[in-house]
Structure 1
Amino acid sequence: MTDAARPVLVTTTGQAARLTLNRPRALNALDHTMVGLIDDALTAWEHDPAVTVVVVTGAGERGLCAGGDIRAVHDDARDGDGTAAAAFWYDEYHLNARIARYPKPYVAFMDGIVMGGGVGISAHGSVRIVTERTRMAMPETGIGFVPDVGGTYLLSRAPGELGTHLALTGAQFGAGDAVLTGLADHFVASDALDALLDDLAARPLADALARHVRPLPEGELAARREWIDACYAADSVEEIVERLLAHGDPDAKETAEVLLTRSPTALKVTLAAIRRARRLTTLEQTLDQEYRVSCHALTTPDLVEGIRAQIIDKDRHPRWHPASLPEVSATDVTRFFTPLPTPELSLSGPESTPKPLP
C-alpha cells in the first residue's frame, strides 16, 4: 500500500515517533480503522526505549482533524442498528483515555481545523501546540449530537461558563482562547512547526519547545466573560436564552439566535452533560457518561437529521424533533444518561489514573 492510501502514516525520526492523519480530502476525519492504527502504534512505542516522544500531525494544508467520520455514523443510525457507530465510539473513547495517561510525552500539533474527534486525539495530550491558524470547536449541537471524546470533561473545567458557551453554541475559537479554556498549552507559529518537529527528534522536549514557543496572541472570550458567565449560569437552556436576549450586548443577542438554530434536545442534554461532568472526578468517568449519551443519541431523530442537513444534503435547514425547547422534557433528557442495554464503556474504576489537567 502506498503512503497516499494509508489513512495513518506511522514514522520515526531520531527519538520522535510521528502519527500523521492522512485523509486530507476528508480533512483527516477519523474512522474506526484509523483509531485502531493509532492505538497499535502507541502500543509499540510505549515499550520502545528508542522513542522518547510521540507527535501527532495532520496531512494537507487545512488542519489536524475535522472530527469523526459522521457520514458513517449517519448511515448506521439511519439504515443499520447503530452497532457499528457504537463500536467506533467504544474504541475511540478508549483511545482518548489512553492518550491522556500515555507514559511518554504526546505532542499534538493543533494547526488549522481541530474539531470534534480531532479534539479527542489532541487536547488530552501532555503537550498541545496551537498556531495562528488554529480553529477549534466542539460543534455537535449543530448536528443533533452532544460533545463527546472527553469534550465535556475539558469544557466543564474551563474558567467560569466559557466551556458551557462553547459546548452549547459549537462556536469556533483560536489559539488564545484554546489556552485560556485549558485545551492547549503553547503557541508556535505554523511556519515553525517543521523546525520544531526536527528539534523534537534530536533534543530534549523542554529545549525543543523553548526554541519555538512564542507569546500567545490575545483571544476573544476574555472580553466576553462578563455576559457569558452571567447568562450561562442559569439552570435551564430556556433561561440562558432569555438572559442572552435581555443582556443588551449585541454579541449576547447574536449568541441567543445561534442557540435557537441548534437541536433543542441536544442543547438540553449538553447542558446536563456539562453540569454532570463538573461533579465527576476523572476523564474516564466522563467518557463513560459520554458513551451512554452517544449511544442513546443513535435512537433519536435529530442525529440523522442534523448530519443530513449539514453534511449530506447541505441545505442547512434541519427539521428538529421536538422542534422547540419547551417540548423537550426533563424525562427526555434523563433518558440519555440511563444505563445501556448493551455493554457499557466501563473505563472508570480503581485502575484509572488520568493525567491531571495542566
Structure 2
Amino acid sequence: MNDVLFFVHGGIGRITLNRPRALNSLNHDMVRAIAERLEAWRSDPAVHAVLIDGAGERGLCAGGDIRAIYEDARGGGSASLRFWADEYRLNALISRYPKPYLALMDGLVMGGGVGVSAHGSHRIVTERSRVAMPEVGIGFVPDVGGTYLLSRTPGQLGTHIALTAGSISGPDAIHCGLADHFLRSERIPELLDALASHSPDTALELVAEPAPPSELAADAEWIDRCYAADTVEEILSRLHAGGDAAATVAKEIEAKSPTALKVTLRALRTAAALPDLETVLAQEYRVSHRALASAEFTEGIRAQIIDKDRAPRWSPATLSEVDDALVDSYFADLGNAEQRFFTPDR
C-alpha cells in the first residue's frame, strides 16, 4: 500500500496521506514524494490547484514518525536530520507554491501535519479539527515553521499554544491565523465536487460558512497578560496568580521539559523578529539538530510514546537548572551542517 496517493481530477491535483492506522504520520519517503509531485504539478497545465487530505476518519496527520526518530536518536544516527531538512524544504515549497494549495485540516492536525497544511493558501477546518504543536511534551521544540506561525498569532496566543502543547479547535485556528475557512465535515464531498467546476475561491464561497466563535479568543485577556513575560518562570508566576483557569494551565506547563520550555520561548521570541518563514526554518533546523542529540527528546518520546508511563525524567529537572548557556547552545551556528530553505516565489 502506498503511504501517499496522488491523482488529478477536474484540474485538482490531490494528495492523500495514506497511513490511517498511524494517523497518517509522515515518513521521509512521503515527504520526498510530495515534494517531487508538487514540483511536477508546478508547471503542469492540467493542474490548476492542489488539495491535501488524510485517509481515514481520524485526521489529516499526527506529525512525523516519532518512533523512527526515537530509534535514530538512540542509535546516534543522522536519518532524522535528513528527514527534517527535506521536510522543512517541503514546508517552504508549500508556502510559496505558485498555484492554490488547499489543505483539508479535518480531525487531528499535529506537528508535521501543521507543516503540510498551515503554510498553504487555502486552509480549511471543520467542527472536528484539533490543531496542535505538542512538541514540548516530548522534550522537543515546535518546528515545521510552527514557531513562525505561532509567533505571529494575535497577542500571546501562540506562546500559550506552544508552552501548553494543547490542541485548539477549528475556530481557534482561524482566529490564530493558522486556517482560513470553516466547513462542516459533512459538506467536504460538496467542496470536492465544487472544485471540479469552480475556482477554489468560488467553491469555498459556495460551501464554507462563518466559523463559530473562538473560545481561545475569549481567554485572550489573561493569556496576553500572563505570557507577555520575558521568562518561563515569570509566565508561570503570573499564571498561578491569574485565577483558576490560568493556574490549571500553569500545572500543565510545569509537567513539560524545562529545557524544551525555555528553548521554545526563546525560539518564539526570536522567530517574531525574523523576516520570513525560510529564515525561521533555518533556526528551527539548528534547534532540531541539537534536540536530536539531547537526552530530553528520547526521554520524552519514551515516556509518552514508547513506554507510555507518562512519567518523563527530565534532566535538568527544574527551570532554575536550565541556564542561558544551555539555551544558547540550541541556537548556535551549525557550520557546515547549516541548511537553507529558500524556494522560488509564487
Which bracket does the TM-score occupy, shorter chain normalised?
A: over 0.9
- Once the two structures are superposed, the pairs formed by residues 189-204 of structure 1 within 5 Å of their partners are 189-204=184-199
Q: Given the alignment of the two structures, is residue 290 of structure 1 paired with residue 309 of structure 2, yes or no?
A: no
SS in structure 1 of the partner of residue 287 of structure 2: helix
2:20 aligns with 24
- Once the two structures are superposed, the pairs formed by residues 27-106 of structure 1 within 5 Å of their partners are 27-81=23-77, 83-106=78-101
Contact kept, 8 Å, 1:309 with 1:318, in 2: the verdict is: yes
Q: Given the alignment of the two structures, is residue 147 of structure 1 paired with residue 142 of structure 2, yes or no?
A: yes
Q: Given the alignment of the two structures, is residue 221 of structure 1 paired with residue 223 of structure 2, yes or no?
A: no
Contact kept, 8 Å, 1:53 with 1:200, in 2: the verdict is: no
Q: How many residues align?
A: 346
Deviation at residue 173 of structure 1 after TM alignment? 0.5
1-side partners of 2:278 and 2:52: how far apart? 22
Contact kept, 8 Å, 1:107 with 1:128, in 2: the verdict is: yes
2-side partners of 1:341 and 1:154: how far apart? 26
Deviation string, structure 1 residues 52-90 (Cα, Å, up to 9, x no partner):
010000000000000001111111111133x10000000
Deviation at residue 268 of structure 1 after TM alignment? 0.1
- Runs of 4+ that moved beyond 4 A: none
SS in structure 2 of the partner of residue 339 of structure 1: coil
SS in structure 1 of the partner of residue 53 of structure 2: strand
2-side partners of 1:133 and 1:245: how far apart? 31
Contact kept, 8 Å, 2:157 with 2:176, in 1: the verdict is: yes
- Once the two structures are superposed, the pairs formed by residues 138-177 of structure 1 within 5 Å of their partners are 138-177=133-172
1:137 aligns with 132
2-side partners of 1:66 and 1:152: how far apart? 18
Q: Which runs of 5 or more structure 2 residues have no equivalent in the other structure?
A: none
2-side partners of 1:229 and 1:125: how far apart? 27
CA RMSD of aligned residues (A): 1.1
Deviation string, structure 1 residues 14-36 (Cα, Å, up to 9, x no partner):
11110000000000000000001
Q: Given the alignment of the two structures, is residue 270 of structure 1 paired with residue 264 of structure 2, yes or no?
A: yes
2-side partners of 1:39 and 1:125: how far apart? 14
Contact kept, 8 Å, 2:127 with 2:184, in 1: the verdict is: yes
Deviation string, structure 1 residues 200-250 (Cα, Å, up to 9, x no partner):
122122221111111101121111111111110111000100110011x21
The residue type equivalent to 2:111 in the other structure is G
SS in structure 2 of the partner of residue 284 of structure 1: helix
Contact kept, 8 Å, 1:9 with 1:20, in 2: the verdict is: yes
User: Aligned match of 1:311 in 301, 305, 309?
Assistant: 305
2-side partners of 1:132 and 1:201: how far apart? 24
Q: Given the alignment of the two structures, is residue 246 of structure 1 paired with residue 246 of structure 2, yes or no?
A: no
Deviation string, structure 1 residues 255-314 (Cα, Å, up to 9, x no partner):
100010000000000000000001101000000000000000011111000001100111
SS in structure 1 of the partner of residue 167 of structure 2: coil
The residue type equivalent to 2:302 in the other structure is R
1-side partners of 2:181 and 2:17: how far apart? 21
Q: Which runs of 5 or more structure 1 residues have no equivalent in the other structure?
A: none
Contact kept, 8 Å, 1:30 with 1:68, in 2: the verdict is: yes
1-side partners of 2:307 and 2:261: how far apart? 23
